[in-house]
Structure 1
Amino acid sequence: MAALEANAAEIGRGPGDRFTAMSMTTLQGGAGRSSAWTTMRYARTYRGLPVLGGEVVVSLRPDRTTQLVSSYLHRAITMGTAPKLTAAAASRRARERVPGAGRTTSAPRLVVDAYHAEPRLAWEVVVAGHRRAGIPSRVHLTVDALTGATITRYDEVKAAGTGDSFFHGTVRMNTAPGESGFELRDEDRRFKVGDDNNRQDPAAPFGDLFLDEDNRWGDGSQDDRATAGVDAFFVGQKTADYLTEVLGRPGLPCGQDDTPLSAHLGEDVFDAFWTGCQGGAHFGDGGAQTRNKPMVAFDVVAHEIGHGVAEPTLGNATLQSAGLHEATGDVLGSSVECWVNEQTPMPKDPCDYRVGSGLGFVIRAMNKPSSVDGHPDCFSDKIDQLQDEHEVAGVGNHFYYLLAFGTSPGDDLPDSPTCNDTRLTGIGRDEATKIWFGAIDLAQGEETYASFRGKTLAAAERLYGRASVQYEAVQAAWAAVNVDSGDDRGAGNPDGPGGSDQPGGSREPGGSDHPDYPGDAGADD
């Protein structure tokens, strides 16, 4: 509870709030280590009413100090708790809004619905009924206790759909039931997929949500607009699973709101963008440059989601920090792509650490960045003279690949030369990815490669210990790409400079909605 008190402003704690522990999970720091990271999840009430979306997550280091406090709410709730709408009226309105409704399963419950921008007093009503073909439903609705409007709606009986994708064959899809069929929306993993309708405007909000009557989506070709939606949905599912099951993170980046993904930004758009949680990720159709393959290959979609994961802590206004943003997307995209290939091989989207290869292009090569348009393999004072953050990402990608796989990984993965002629042995993909995203959690706005080096050392120490093989591997991998500050002041102290003697450069501000796939990438014929 001390962490909640110390972070009262950040979690929007007000005088009417009370917190109750819901669950506790532990993540062991590594083989042979007795210490562990602990994650506590708390439920919130306001003046005695349950607050939906008011949960708080507290992450504790092995020494029991607070590493992270996360809450969807950031402002204290201030509202009355006297409803104008009666429970009986709320129940009646809820049944009217559910097709095939039979009965409410229990008495309506007065709650605070905080899933959206402004918390609202509401009645929570559960309505049992049947959808088409006799499929049962249990629909949860929150009905505004002042106006009678529906605020939130979801069905706890999941709809098992199937889709014919462009890259991944026929896939299972955890879609959501809608008022007149099914929606390309995953209520468990909290994301949705829409159609941008060729607007060619990545700054636009989320597109039109894909809808279908029989829960059978796409036909495997671009002729059916839902096909690209199937690919985006499949990658969204698997990325969410990797973030939670492997990295132990809370899931996709937009919290209680559905993370938006939109296909069909434009027929000739060879690009993909992340525009924040309001607009989400947008994917073009590729056009002639991809021979009309849509920009929804595995490592492309997961890359954009990676921007969303990094956005709360890692800045994007200076050149090196923006390059680290791009590398973060590549790390997540390649990690998820290879994790899924281990479960079910994907011939059209293989595990190769060559970003975008499924499109017929190699945008960036993580093992040897210079093999694509001369992107830098090694850090030097020329980094800040580059014009594009995607080039700058080469140093971070090269570090990650060496950390994970070393110089000669085998298993059909390509070799990776070092900048200091050393030979390295990797620690494995998932351990390297945990360290990278542990460092992202410790990032403090605009980072340089030198300062981020310190964050990765701090993450390795907290996960595996300062005397561990993993910690030493992080040191060696940074030295192998010429990022070596001469001291480790950033390790174990994320506030320290970590050797910030390497300048960060600058770039035009504008958030993370920059294009991720410049048109001069090399063809992969």
Structure 2
Amino acid sequence: MALHVLSGDTTFRSLRAVPRFAAELIKKRPLAFMLAGDKQRTIFSANNAQALPGVIVRAEGSPATGDPAIDEAYDGLGLTYDFFWNVFNRNSIDDEGMPLNGTVHFGANYSNAFWDGQRMVFGDGDGELFNRFTISLDVIAHELAHGVTEDETQLIYSSQSGALNESVSDVFGSLVKQYALNQTAEGADWLIGAGLFTDRVQGVGGNPAVLRSMKEPGTGYDDPVLGRDPQPGHMDDFVNTFEDNGGVHINSGIPNKAFYLAATNIGGYAWEKAGRVWYETLLDSRLRSNDKFQRFAQLTVENAKRYKVEAEVCDAWTKVGISVPMII
């Protein structure tokens, strides 16, 4: 079952990375978008097949259906849109009012969620290891943030640039959840994917299992079937591997912890300063698609200067083993 999920996952992530696929998306966009600040969500159901997009089951403004996957997807897309609009004045994924579409009940026991360049797609999980993938707001926001990165920077999905791609999605996924719950950096759990694992999956130290911890990478899970969370939180433990596109989901723990440290160093709501620094770095014209941790870190420090938090950001990177000189 795991191999089946992984084979499909590779296909969809490859499609997302192909520029031609993005060009087709642009052709299919409607000529007129909704007014800035107005959401336009459509939820489809694949009815446990793998034909996309499926049949429409909920449209913008329609009432809840009672199907948790449909309603969680609808709400998650809306909360993510609201976050980017209210915090960064960004009008949807592409900043041009792109409608947000989601397909639920994808495949049979499909244990994943992904952004394919046109829509969010959610599996129902297998009930053995994974619950439905709409259950976690930060996972929904994580996948939509891949669309933001694709639109702005197109960080190559391999090695360190790919790990940055994954980390940026974790950052905004966590920030959307914190914004929705009105949590400060100090009060947030900094966990990605809480609730996704079933009770059968063992966590670390008696805690429920999660996909990742930004606060303590490597402590998401420790299970006889899944193994132990492999994420490092420091460059001393950087994993060199050809698997996972060069460790994009593994080594993302390092920039993840840097963001957590920066946000807690600064204090208050993480989206107000630390999140803005990371967002503006993502939009920085100096950021290249193949950049590694070091250059991304340097750009965050430079972008932090306008908010007078460069010392806190610099300290965060230093603590994960990335030395960044402060420019006075």
TM tier relative to shorter chain? 0.7 to 0.9
Alignment match, 1:217: 64
Distance 2:236 2:164 in 1: 15
Distance 1:119 1:317, change over 3 A: closer
Distance 1:311 1:118, change over 3 A: closer
From 187, 190, 193, the counterpart of 2:43: 193
More helix by share: 2
In the alignment, residue 90 of structure 2 is paired with which amino acid?
A: R
Give SS of 1:260's match.
strand
Deviations 1:273-304 (A, max 9, x none): 1111x3x2211111224564344421110110
**Residues 376-385 or 327-336, more deviating:** 376-385
In the alignment, residue 365 of structure 1 is paired with which amino acid?
A: S
Long gaps (5+) in structure 1: 1-114, 121-150, 157-185, 344-349, 407-424, 493-525
2:206 is the alignment partner of 1:362: no
Alignment match, 1:340: 180
Long gaps (5+) in structure 2: 1-24, 198-208, 221-228
Alignment match, 2:236: 380
Task: Check conservation: 1:427, 1:473, Cα contact below 8 A.
Answer: no
Give SS of 2:236's match.
coil
User: What's the C-alpha RMSD, in Å, of the aligned pairs?
Assistant: 3.3
Distance 2:313 2:293 in 1: 13
Deviations 1:104-134 (A, max 9, x none): xxxxxxxxxxx973899xxxxxxxxxxxxxx
Alignment match, 2:4: none
More strand by share: 1
Alignment match, 2:142: 303
In the alignment, residue 195 of structure 1 is paired with which amino acid?
A: S
Alignment match, 1:436: 278
Aligned pairs for 1:33-112 (under 5 A) are none
Aligned pairs for 1:98-497 (under 5 A) are 117=27, 188-200=38-50, 205-211=52-58, 215-219=62-66, 224=67, 227-253=68-94, 255-276=96-117, 278=118, 280-290=119-129, 292-312=131-151, 313-342=153-182, 351-360=188-197, 361-372=209-220, 373-380=229-236, 382-385=238-241, 387-388=243-244, 389-406=248-265, 426=267, 428-430=269-271, 431-442=273-284, 443-461=287-305, 463-464=306-307, 468=308, 470-485=309-324, 487=325
Task: Check conservation: 2:232, 2:250, Cα contact below 8 A.
Answer: yes
Task: Give 1 or 2 for the bigger CA radius of gyration.
Answer: 1
Distance 1:218 1:351, change over 3 A: farther
Distance 1:116 1:253 in 2: 10
Deviations 1:315-339 (A, max 9, x none): 2233111111111111111111111
Distance 2:261 2:155 in 1: 24
Give SS of 2:84's match.
helix
Task: Check conservation: 1:299, 1:337, Cα contact below 8 A.
Answer: yes
In the alignment, residue 230 of structure 1 is paired with which amino acid?
A: D
Percentage of identical aligned residues: 27
Distance 1:377 1:275, change over 3 A: same
Q: With the length of structure 1 as denominator, give the TM-score of the two structures.
A: 0.47
Q: With the length of structure 2 as denominator, give the TM-score of the two structures.
A: 0.73
Give SS of 2:44's match.
strand
In the alignment, residue 330 of structure 1 is paired with which amino acid?
A: D
In the alignment, residue 252 of structure 2 is paired with which amino acid?
A: A
In the alignment, residue 445 of structure 1 is paired with which amino acid?
A: S
Distance 1:239 1:317, change over 3 A: closer
